[in-house]
């Protein structure tokens, strides 16, 4: 079940356009929590914390697509390695799945 959810999340992360996800990330917290991100530019000299907070949403959005593609690649490679002979041998000898993977 976790695999299907993670795979669906990865496909969703790759398929959603960045501008649409950006709009959702700005609008939904403003509607549900009353929180809106800083829209105006703040110099680092004026308010360092607010200046750094302006990087949170863009950084999150850039990381979503990267994390989704890396997750799919890692899953594919893990399944390929586990299908090799030594993975099947370890399972047939009774090793638990976490032990075989690590």
Q: State phi, psi for 84 to the nearest 5 degrees.
A: -75, 170
Residue 85, pLDDT above cutoff 80: yes
Distance CA(84)–CA(77), nearest Å, equals: 11
Q: What tens digit of pLDDT does each residue of 10-64 get?
A: 888 888 888 888 888 878 887 888 777 656 777 889 888 888 877 887 788 888 8
Residue 97: the pLDDT is: 78
Residue 37: the pLDDT is: 65
Residue 38: the pLDDT is: 59
| H helix and E strand count, the chain | 6, 0
Residue 35: the pLDDT is: 76
Q: State phi, psi for 95 to the nearest 5 degrees.
A: -70, 145
E strands in 38-101 = none
Domain map (residue ranges) of the chain: 2-101
């Amino acid at each position: 079940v976790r695999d299907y959810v993670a795979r669906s999340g990865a496909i969703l992360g790759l398929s959603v356009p960045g501008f649409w996800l950006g709009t959702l990330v700005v609008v939904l917290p403003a509607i549900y929590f009353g929180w809106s991100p800083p829209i105006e530019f703040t110099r680092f000299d004026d308010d360092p914390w607010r200046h750094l907070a302006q990087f949170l949403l863009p950084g999150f959005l850039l990381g979503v697509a990267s994390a989704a593609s890396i997750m799919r690649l890692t899953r594919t490679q893990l399944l390929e390695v586990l299908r090799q002979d030594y993975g099947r041998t370890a399972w047939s000898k009774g090793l638990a799945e976490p032990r075989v993977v690590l």
